[in-house]
Amino acid sequence: MKNHEVIAVLTAIALMFIIGVSAVPQTNIVWTQPGRGNFQPVPIMLKDIGIYDAKPGDIIYSSYGLAYVAIDSQRALYLDFNVMPIGQIEVNVDEPLSDSYVSNPYVGALIEYPPKAYYHIVGQVDENIMNIIAPHEQLVTVIMTTRAEPGKSIVSMQFKIWAYLGVDQEAMRIIWKQAYGRTDVEWSFILPTLQMYDEMGKQIQTNILETNSNVWQINFSPHGYSSMTIGAWNLGNYDAALNVQLGTKFDNAGGTNQNLGAGEPVMVYIPAGTSKTFELKTYCLNAHKGVPMMSDALNPVGIVDDNVKDVMKDAFAAGTVSTGESQSAVWQQTG
């Protein structure tokens, strides 16, 4: 067999392997879910949160829960990334028109604990997110439980939404592999498309370190060294995505207690005029200082050094964020 024939045969075998891999049902995935965020199999069934009358593109929202976008009357995808709801889902016919105590959502306000998360339709996503879900609407039933083509599966639709809303590409790659069981080969296929959506979404994305006081009101309340509660209110006229990058450094204004670092990337989608209260896993950055108190004033001031961020990233990928072992590893880098 000639060289060019050998190359052709090997190329055909490689293509058959890739196509075969992409046809494996999602039900065969071994879930090694990192962190604790919203990485359940998609699509999400809307009946589980008490929504039965959604239209494609509807935003289903709770200030103490998650944000979803409906792809039809029964199913939805996430708008948030790596958010663990602090509210307990409440589904009944007498539900109020808003979440409990939504009129005073800021950290430190008296709220029912755990707060109840009532889900409501609060509007529609913009045309770019509509374009992510609309072309595939007729295919959703077919591809819902299969890997389908790279870039055309229901999982790929989810990642395009996250990319558009500004989620860090490295964080998405970790979740692509660890939570959704996909491969590096499949990632290489979809990455150019995700980069395109990231550029398209610049107008809706906001980094927590670049917040405009005319648009956001944000409060931080630490709970020791391992977590903080963040209360954010979108004061603007447009829906926005607030991104907390892994390694974001929070300066403790008191000086005697430790600074904190974000141990995980989080993105929350907050419609105009609404609020979101959520938790963030953190690390203490100064072993020689005191434990942060809830009354301490925190301010985001940048990103931790690369050596510290690498330790945090490894823990996020391994699902060991803010454990005693990972905290010790961070202190070995920070002192």
What are the C-alpha distances in Å from 69 to residues 99, 172, 179, 322? 18, 19, 20, 30
Given a cut of 70, whether residue 310 has pLDDT beyond it is yes
Given a cut of 70, whether residue 99 has pLDDT beyond it is no
Take residue 52 and report the two structure tokens written for it.
């039965």
Amino acid at 27: T
Between 72-81, 131-140, 318-327, the lowest mean confidence (pLDDT) is in 131-140
Average pLDDT, the chain: 80
Given a cut of 70, whether residue 37 has pLDDT beyond it is no
> Does 296 map to a domain?
yes
Name the range with the highest mean pLDDT among 38-47, 97-106, 205-214, 240-249: 240-249
CATH number at residue 328: 2.60.40
- pLDDT for the residue numbered 54: 95
> Does 282 map to a domain?
yes
Given a cut of 60, whether residue 89 has pLDDT beyond it is no
> Does 260 map to a domain?
yes
> Does 37 map to a domain?
no
pLDDT bin (cut points 50, 70, 90) of residue 144 is very low
Given a cut of 70, whether residue 30 has pLDDT beyond it is no
Take residue 265 and report the two structure tokens written for it.
């990337």
> Does 298 map to a domain?
yes
Query: Could you give the CA distance from residue 49 to residue 74 in angstroms, rounded to a whole number?
Result: 11
Given a cut of 60, whether residue 228 has pLDDT beyond it is yes
Query: Could you give the CA distance from residue 27 to residue 20 in angstroms, rounded to a whole number?
Result: 15
- pLDDT for the residue numbered 84: 79
> Does 277 map to a domain?
yes
- pLDDT for the residue numbered 114: 55
- pLDDT for the residue numbered 293: 83
pTM: 0.81
172-223 pLDDT, tens digit per residue, is 999 999 888 889 999 999 999 999 999 999 999 999 999 887 889 999 988 8
pLDDT bin (cut points 50, 70, 90) of residue 71 is very high
- pLDDT for the residue numbered 93: 41
- Check residues 110 and 80 and name the one with the higher pLDDT: 80
- pLDDT for the residue numbered 106: 41
Given a cut of 80, whether residue 133 has pLDDT beyond it is yes
- Check residues 140 and 168 and name the one with the higher pLDDT: 168
Q: What percentage of the chain exceeds 90 in pLDDT? A: 53
Q: What percentage of the chain exceeds 70 in pLDDT? A: 75
pLDDT bin (cut points 50, 70, 90) of residue 91 is low
> Does 165 map to a domain?
no
Given a cut of 80, whether residue 38 has pLDDT beyond it is no
Q: How many domains does the chain have?
A: 1
- Check residues 64 and 146 and name the one with the higher pLDDT: 64
> Does 141 map to a domain?
no
Query: Could you give the CA distance from residue 142 to residue 268 in angstroms, rounded to a whole number?
Result: 30
- Check residues 77 and 35 and name the one with the higher pLDDT: 77
pLDDT bin (cut points 50, 70, 90) of residue 294 is confident
Q: Is 156 helix (H, G, I), strand (E, B) or coil?
A: helix
239-256 pLDDT, tens digit per residue, is 999 999 999 999 998 778
Closest CA to 51 of 30, 26, 76, 33: 76
Decide: 285 and 292 in contact? Cβ < 8 Å.
Answer: no
- pLDDT for the residue numbered 134: 81
Domain that holds residue 235: 205-334
Query: Could you give the CA distance from residue 112 to residue 293 in angstroms, rounded to a whole number?
Result: 21
